[in-house]
Amino acid sequence: MCHCATMPAHSLMKFKLVFFSPVSATPGVLRRLFERFPDTVGKEGLYRGCAFVGRGVGQFVPQAGASPAIGAAGRAETVEEDRVEVSVRVQERALMSEVIDALKEAHPYEEVVYDVYKVEDF
C-alpha cells in the first residue's frame, strides 16, 4: 500500500539550467535572468537569486564567418569562465524556451553553451 501524496495538477516542472559564461559577464547574465523570472529562475523555497558558480577554463577555435566576442577566427582561445547552475521551475515545458531565449539575449557569446536537465522531485 502506497502512502505517497498525490501530485497536484498544478505542480511545476523542475529543470536545471547549466551554462558557461566569461567571468566578467556572469553577474550581469544572472541579474537579468533573476529580474525577468524572479519566481522561475533561481528560486528555492523562500530564497531567490540562487545559483552555483564554479570557475574553470573554456577553450574554442572560432571558424571562418564567426563573430567571436573574444578572440579571432582561426585562432585557438582559452578564457576563464564560470560554470553556472540554476534551477528553473515552469508550469509548461514550452516556458523553458523563454528562459533560454533570455539567456541568449543577456549573454555576450555568439554561441551560448548550455545544458538543460529535467529534475525529478523525491
16-70: pLDDT as tens digits:
999 999 999 999 999 999 999 999 999 999 999 999 999 999 999 999 999 888 8
pTM summary value: 0.86
- How sure is the predictor about 121, in pLDDT bands with cuts at 50, 70 and 90? confident
> To the nearest whole percent, how much of the chain has pLDDT over 90?
83
Cα–Cα distance measured from residue 65 to residue 77, given in angstroms and rounded to the nearest whole number: 16
Does domain 22-119 fall into CATH 3.30.70.120?
Answer: yes
CA atoms within 13 A on the CB side of 4: 7
